[in-house]
Structure formats: C-alpha cells, structure tokens
Amino acid sequence: MSTALPNTTVARRVPCEACPLRDNEHFRDFTPAELKFVSGFKRGELVSEAGSMILAEGSHNAQLFTLLSGWAFRYKTLEDGRRQILNYLLPGDLVGLQGSVIGEMEHSVESLSPVVLCVFQRDNLPNLFENHPGLAFDVTWLASREERMLDENLLSVGRRSATERAAYLIAFLYQRSEQVGQGRSSRHLIPITQQHVADTLGLSIVHTNKTLRKLASRELIRWHDRACEVLDPKGLAEVAGWDGLSESKRPLI
Amino acid sequence: MSTALPNTTVARRVPCEACPLRDNEHFRDFTPAELKFVSGFKRGELVSEAGSMILAEGSHNAQLFTLLSGWAFRYKTLEDGRRQILNYLLPGDLVGLQGSVIGEMEHSVESLSPVVLCVFQRDNLPNLFENHPGLAFDVTWLASREERMLDENLLSVGRRSATERAAYLIAFLYQRSEQVGQGRSSRHLIPITQQHVADTLGLSIVHTNKTLRKLASRELIRWHDRACEVLDPKGLAEVAGWDGLSESKRPLI
DNA sequence: CGTCGGTTTGATCTAGTTCAACCGCCGTGG
DNA sequence: CCACGGCGGTTGAACTAGATCAAACCGACG
C-alpha cells in the first residue's frame, strides 16, 4: 500500500515574503504585520519523495503544515485494511490542523508526488489566535473550506453513480490544480493511480478501471502510467452534474 | 420530502448565564468575560416545529446558530432530487458557520424534532475573533470536530457494508445523544425515519428497511414509528467495528 | 371513511464485486 | 546478460449486494 520513505527536514529556504504561492491571484494578500508573524511562525521546510507518509493516524505530536508544492492525500483505514481517501491536498492547503486543535490525528496523510511543506510550530497556534485575529479567521476559513469539500465528496460517494463519481472527482481535482497553477507546466496531469481513484470513490479497483475506460473512450480523459490527463474538464463536470468550484479568493497561511 | 413550516423567532428567554447546557460535564467552562460576550452576541431564540427548514442551500444571508434543544440534520441534494444527509445536529452544535465564513450556504438544515436555537448576529463574528481569541479558537475547534465526524462518515459510506454502516450510524447518534443528555428522559429514542437513514447511508429505502430489520432481529435496536430505540449500543459499535467517540470536553458557544 | 406518510415484504433486475488471468514495465539480484 | 518478482493497468466470467418495481399494511388524522 504505502511505502514510508524517510523524510528530510531541511533548513528554511523560501522566506514567506518570497513565497511563490503569493503571486497567485487566487490567494488573498497579507498585511505586512501578518506576513511578518507567519514568517516567524514558520520553522522550516519538509521535503519528501512521492509515496511518503507525512502524518500518521493516531499520532499525538503531529505538526502543522502548509503544502508548498506537490500533491498529497488524507485517508482513513478500517481494521481489515479497507481504505477511504477523504480528500486531496494541493499547494496552499493546511495540513494537520486536527492534531493541533483536538490533540490527535484521526487520519493519515501521504504524498502522491515529491512535496515540500512549510512546517509550523504547533504550540504557537494559540499565539496566532491571540495576536492575529485576521489569521485566526483565515484558519477557520480554511477549516470551513475543507468541510465544504467533504460535504460534496460525501454527496458524491453516497448518491452519485460510479461514472458520475469518477467524472466529479477528476473535474474537481483538475479545477483545484488549475487554481494553484500546477497544470500549466505538466499538461493537466493528476498524479494518482487507479487504486487511489477506487479508494476515493468507494469502488473496487476493477470497476474503477472499467469506469475510467468509459470516460477515456468518450475523450474526456486519457490515462497514463500513474497519472490522469484531463482532456475535457467541462464535459466531466457536465457528466457529474457539478457546478464547479467557487471563484472567491482564499487565505494562505 | 421536507415540509417547510413557519419559524417563529421569539424574544430572548434563556440567558446564557443560565444556559441548561452549561451544567453538562461534556462542555468546557467559560471565563466570566467570555460568558458576558457570548451573552451580548446572542440576539434571541428561534423555535421551530419538527420538519422545518432552518437554513437553505444557496442562501447568502444565513444566520449563525447554536442548537439549544432538539434534533436536526444537514443535507445536500442533486438536481434530480437525490438527497445526501451529511451529518446530524444535536444540542450544543454550531449551525451555519459556512454562511458566516464563506458567505454562502452550500447545504440545507432541517429539524427532526421541535427545536430551539440561539440566534447570533453573524456580522459580529469578526468582533469575536478580535476580542476573544479563546472563543475564536473554540469556533475552530468546533469546525475541526465537524470535519472529524464527516471523515468517519465518509469512511462509512465509502467502505463499510450496509449492515456495518447502519450499525455505525445508530451507535454514533446514540453516543452523541447520550453525551448531551437527550437520552435520559426518552429511553434512547432517535427521532428519524428510515428514509433519513437511507439518505445518510447512501442506500435505497427498501434495502435500508431490510438492514434495519436485521439489526432489530439481533436485538440491537427496536424500530418505532419515526424513531429508533437503541437496545445494545456496544453491540452496534462492535458490528460496525467502531471505537466510539472521544471523551474530551468540548467548547460551547 | 378515505388518504397519506411511514414501514414491510416478495420478486426481479443490475451495478458493482470478486476471482482469475495476463500484459508491460521496471528495478533487483544472480 | 537474463530471470524474477512486483506494481499498475486491463479484461472476461461468475457472482452478489443492493436497486427497482410492485403491492400491501398500519396508524394518524381530517
């Protein structure tokens, strides 16, 4: 399933002031004071290869991260190994808030591609709430956004057909990827295997394969080795009966 | 499906200082300053009968509530009417945060029983973040808790069998109900129809019925008119392969 | 007394699962 | 150099969990 590879914590490289994500129009601007605080909040960077475990279910000393680049996913498993992928993480997403707020992680996080994460000092979170209400609100905003995504996901798994579900998932990941500008360079490739798709949609791997081939035969996607190329994002959204993501600016911490 | 009945906003009755929920050991204590602020934050109460719509998907001027007593649920629907229930609301739960944070509700909320809700002035939320970081943290805590519940739900719908799912749902609602002391008086009755169960589990109503009868024949539950009586909560959790809710104290706003 | 929402049951059908193979690719070890 | 094993993807066949269809029951209520 997941091959846990050694993570490497590296000394601070990218200063927040020069964070490449800040150029992106989809993120809201910081005040200079906020930027300064976040810069101090940041402890370093974590660089990992594809397929490494970033956070483990049950861990109590989990750190707080923001994904800087790459793809990852959150998941839970049952005793007998059945796995459910809950959501995907793209640049700008906050990781590990549960650990910081509740005290224990109830899901795991694993990378799909090489990733770089900003590491924050988690016991500094109360300080953030004390002194930077705007940032505190941003944290809540991000938690609320995650909830929205989960709601839509649950609707999908609970009530959409296999084809609709698959189309929704791929359209969803495509849009998110576009927003953070991952797509430009790499011809809209989503770095997942069919097993990931199956574990996201709550389907078997065999049926997932057949469903994806159907989408491929309709020229909506093309499947590559460990990656999905999106040919027709609008067509996918239409198959899924999905309106698409809202366009509003989001915070970045 | 849902019969929207007229809601009645009533002048403030229960002062926060005398909030009956505060006696419950599962909720954390407030500082006097916090209590005073929340008291001022509160605008009045909303009393509704069973089956009324509290919040509607798509609404922009949604208010922020805390459920004081009764049962409700959050749901989303697809164009063609397929409905997915996302989660249930019990006393002490915050309702409508999405509307306050993101600006638009992406799900609806409907009551299952007569309910009383505290109504908060939503444009006062930034004020709360400014002046009461402890309460702001509580809001985030509650959002994070909702996320945890959704995660477990998604795991359930995606990867558990019909019987496991049903057992999990009922055990889950039972435990939550117990925590807020709804059960004492009413012999552990959960006020839902089998249609609600079906729409929560992502199953058809017929199959839901057959699954529930199976649980009933195993003496785990007894079904009543529009209500589920829990006979063996431990047995249910065992069938579901579920550990149960964490016991830690939670905030109340 | 008729109607309506909720529950129940049996029969039939199908979307999706499970089992079983096979292919191509790549990295490993002899 | 080749043999191998493992992973990701693909395909067909048999099977089953759960859907759909249809009908009936029951209590509440106007």
Mean pLDDT of each 10-residue bin along chain B, 253 residues long: 49 81 92 94 94 95 93 97 98 95 95 96 94 97 98 98 98 96 75 98 98 98 97 98 94 95
- Beta strand pairing status for B227-230 and B42-48? unpaired
Here the tokens at position B208 are 């839901």
Q: For residues B42 and B12, is the Cβ–Cβ distance under 8 A?
A: yes
> Is B133 in contact with A137 (Cβ distance < 8 A)?
no
Match 């990378």 to its residue by tokens: A111
Tokens matching residue A119: 């590491």
Using a CB-CB cut-off of 8 Å, the residues of chain A touching B106 are 148, 151-152
A66 pLDDT more than 90: yes
Q: How far is CA B169 from the centre of its chain?
A: 13
pLDDT at A187: 76
Rounded distance between C-alpha atoms, residue B78 and residue B74, angstroms: 14
DSSP annotation string for chain B: -------EEE---S-GGG-GGGGSTTBPPPPHHHHHHHHHHEEEEEEE-TT-EEE-TT-SS--EEEEEES-EEEEEE-TTS-EEEEEEE-TT-EE-HHHHHTSS--SEEEESS-EEEEEE-GGGHHHHHHH-HHHHHHHHHHHHHHHHHHHHHHHHHHHS-HHHHHHHHHHHHHHHHHHTT-TGGGTTEE---HHHHHHHHT--HHHHHHHHHHHHHTTSEEEETTEEEES-HHHHHHHHT--------B---
Is the pLDDT confidence value at A62 over 90? Answer: no
Chain B residues within an 8 Å CB radius of A84: 154-155, 158-159
- Between positions 157 and 196 of A, the ones with CB within 8 A of B are 157-160
Domain boundaries, chain A: 8-150, 160-240
The confidence score (pLDDT) of residue A5 equals 39
**Residues A6-56: pLDDT tens digits?**
456 665 677 888 999 999 999 999 899 999 999 999 999 999 999 999 999
Q: If you count them, how many residues does chain B have?
A: 253
This prediction's pTM: 0.95
Smallest CA–CA distance, residue B156 to chain A, in Å, is 9
* Size (chain A), residues: 253
- Per CB-CB distance under 8 Å, the chain B contacts of A141 are 101-102
Q: In the predicted model, what is the mean pLDDT of chain A?
A: 93
A208, closest nucleotide (Cα–C1'): C16
Using a CB–CB cutoff of 8 Å, tell me whether A145 touches chain B.
Answer: yes
pLDDT of the residue at A8 = 61
Q: Which residues pair with B221 in a beta bridge?
A: B230
- pLDDT value at residue A247: 86
DSSP assigned state of A84: E
The answer to whether A173 and A75 have CB atoms below 8 angstroms apart is no
What are the angstrom distances between the C-alpha of B100 and each of A182, B109, B143? 30, 15, 12
Residue B188 confidence (pLDDT): 81
Question: Taking the mean position of all CA atoms in its chain, how far away is CA A201?
Answer: 16
- The partner residues of A72 in beta bridges, in order of sequence, read A89, A111
For the cut 90, the answer to whether the pLDDT of residue A176 exceeds it is yes
Angstrom CA distances, A38 to A31, A34, A130, B53, B171, stand at 11, 6, 14, 41, 42
> How many whole angstroms separate alpha carbon B204 and alpha carbon B159?
17
What is residue A226's DSSP assignment?
Answer: T
CB neighbour burial string for A3-31, b if at least 16 within 10 angstroms, e if fewer = eeeebeeeeeeeebeebebeebeebeebe
**A204 interfaces chain B, CB cutoff of 8 Å:** no
Burial B2-14 (b: 16+ CB within 10 A, else e): eeeeebeeeeeee
List beta partners, residue B94: B66
**Cβ contacts (< 8 Å) between A98 and chain B: which residues?**
144, 147-148
Torsion, Cα A156 B73 B149 B186, to 10 degrees, reads -140
- CA gap B51, B109 in Å, rounded: 10
What's the rounded Cα separation, in Å, for the pair B84 and B202?
7
Per-residue pLDDT band for A4 (boundaries 50, 70, 90) equals: very low
pLDDT of residue A6: 46
Q: What is the pLDDT of residue B2?
A: 40
Residue B247's pLDDT is what?
86
B74, B136, B202 ranked by CB distance to A158: nearest? B202
Dig out the tokens for B34 from the structure: 């916090």
Q: Bin B199: left if φ > 0, else alpha if -120 < ψ < 50, else beta.
A: alpha
Q: Which of B82, B150, B201 sits opposite A150 (nearest CB)?
A: B150
Calpha distance A59→A108 (Å, rounded) = 9
Mean pLDDT of A183-196: 84
Distances from the Cα of B69 to the Cα of B10, B19, B36, angstroms? 15, 11, 21
Protein-contacted positions of strand C (CB under 7 Å): 5-11, 15-20
Q: How far is the CA of A206 from the C1' of C22 (A)?
A: 14
Q: Just give the CATH number of A160-240.
A: 1.10.10.10
CA quadruple B145, B151, B157, B161: dihedral positive or negative? negative
Q: Is the Cβ–Cβ distance between A111 and A76 less than 8 Å? A: no
| Domain B8-150, classified CATH 3.40.50.300, yes or no | no
